[in-house]
Amino acid sequence: MDNRINLLKTLSEINGPSGYEEEVRNFMREALDPLVDQIDVDQMGSIIGRLGAEDNPRIMLSAHMDELGLMVRYITEEGYLKIHPLGGWLDQAIVNQRWIILTNKGTVPGITGIKTIHVMKAEDRKKVFDRDSLFIDIGAKNREDVIKNYGIRPGDAIVPDSKFGLLGDGDLLLGKAWDDRVGLAVMIEVLRRIAKSEVTIDKTIYFVATVQEEIGLRGAKTSSYAVSPDIAINLEAGVAADFPGMNNDESQERLGLGPTVFLHDSSMIPNIKLRKFVMEVAENEKIPIQFNVLNGYGQDGAEAQRSRSGTPAINIAVPTRYLHSHNGVISMSDFDQTVQLITALMQKMNSDEIKNIRQFV
C-alpha cells in the first residue's frame, strides 16, 4: 500500500475521542519526534513539536487529534449502556450503529439498539430517536456482568466501529475520524518534506496536535498560549457539498477541486493579509484552491487567533463528505494538493512576510 494511504488508514482507524486521545498522541509523538528539534506535551495533552531556533518568528501549524465519540453515562440493571455524546452528533447518526467501548481491560464491541418497525406505532416511524432514549447492547446478562466480566465503568469512552476502505477508482478514501485525522496526516507529510531542508533559517515552525477540539477547542487554547505564535495555520476536514441534500448556501466545497480556504465560520474570520498570501502562493505554485463561507462550524485556529494580543490565523481544509458520522469520504488528490500548498507556504513565509502580515498600518 502507498505510504500516504497507509498513513491515512492508520490515523483513521486509531481510536481517540475527545479527552481520550492517548493512542493518537502516542502515534503522533512517534511520527514527529525524529523530525523536530524538540517535542513537548502540555498539561492538556496536546503535542508541541518545534523545528527551528526558539528566538525566530513563530509559525504554528495545528490539527486536532480527537474524534467524535460517546461516553458511558451509566449501566442499567439489565446490562445496557446509556450514553453521553462527546462532540456534535446528530441523533439519527447514532441509531443502529456498531461501536467499540474502550476499557481498562481492552475493547468491547456493541451496537445501539433500535425498536423493530413491526411493533412501532405509525406516527413513531417517522420520528428521530432522541439520544436519551438510546442505549448500547454488548450482549451482557446484567449490570454486574458488565462491570465484572467486561470491565466497563461509567466514564469509559466509546468510538465508532468503522474500517478504512477505497471507493470508486481509488482516489476516494472511506473511513472514520477524517475530522481531523486528515489534518494530522497533512501535518506529518509536510514535516517530512521540510525537516531536512533549510526552511527554518529565519523562522521556527511549531507542529501542534491538539486535544478536545470537538468539545470546545480546549487543547488549542492552552497550546496557543504555550507557543505564542506570530502566525497560525490550522489544518482541518472541510464540509463538502457535492452530494444530494446539500447546496451552495450551506457549503461551497467539492471533492477533487483542491484544498479549501475558509473565509468565514462561526468561530473565525481569517486575517486578510494572511489570506492574500495563501492565495498568491497557491496561484504561483499552480495549486487549485476553493473557498467556503459557513454559518456554523468551529475550529482550533479561532483559539490561536484570540490568544494573548491576537494572532493572524487561517483555516485550510481537505474537503470531506459526511462529517460527524461513522464514515466520511475524502479525495487523495485533495490531500496531496493540501500537502503541496502547506509545504509551499512554509517555504515562502520568511520573517519579512511574517512581519508584514502582522502589521495593520
pTM score: 0.95
Distances from the Cα of 157 to the Cα of 76, 107, 111, 118, 318, angstroms: 17, 10, 14, 33, 27
Residues 146 and 79: beta-carbon distance below 8 Å: yes
Q: What is the pLDDT of residue 349?
A: 96
Nearest residue to 327 via CA among 113, 210, 187, 172? 172
Distances from the Cα of 65 to the Cα of 12, 180, 272, angstroms: 11, 6, 28
Half-sphere exposure of 10 (CA within 13 A, CB side): 17
In a 10 Å sphere around its CB, with 0-12 CB exposed, 13-18 middle and 19+ buried, how is residue 247 labelled?
exposed
Strands 69-75 and 58-64: unpaired
**H/E segment holding residue 293:** strand 290-293
Q: Please state, in angstroms and rounded to a whole number, the distance separating the CA atoms of residues 179 and 167.
A: 18
Residues 232 and 73: beta-carbon distance below 8 Å: no
Q: What is the pLDDT of residue 1?
A: 65
Q: What is the pLDDT of residue 136?
A: 98
Residues 6+ apart with CB under 8 A from 127: none
Which portions of the chain are predicted below pLDDT 70?
1
Tell me which residue has cell 462527546: 86
Q: What is the pLDDT of residue 186?
A: 98
Measured in degrees and rounded to the nearest 5, phi and psi for residue 34 equal -70, -15
**Residue 213 annotated to the active site:** yes
Q: What is the pLDDT of residue 90?
A: 92
Q: What is the pLDDT of residue 324?
A: 96
Q: What is the pLDDT of residue 156?
A: 98
At 188-232, the pLDDT tens digits run 999 999 988 888 889 999 999 999 999 999 999 999 999 999 999
SS3 of 88-146: the string is CCCHHHCCCCEEEEEECCEEEEEEECCCCHHHCCHHHHHCCCCHHHCEEECCCCCHHHH
Distances from the Cα of 221 to the Cα of 246, 266, 322, angstroms: 32, 17, 27
Measured in degrees and rounded to the nearest 5, phi and psi for residue 268 equal -165, 140
Reading the block at residue 84, the C-alpha cell is 453521553
Catalytic annotation, pick one of 21, 189, 213, 214: 213
Q: What is the pLDDT of residue 202?
A: 92
Strands 260-264 and 290-293: parallel
Q: Please state, in angstroms and rounded to a whole number, the distance separating the CA atoms of residues 352 and 82.
A: 55
At 115-154, the pLDDT tens digits run 888 888 888 888 888 888 899 999 999 999 999 999 999 9
Q: Please state, in angstroms and rounded to a whole number, the distance separating the CA atoms of residues 55 and 52.
A: 9
Tell me which residue has cell 439520544: 131
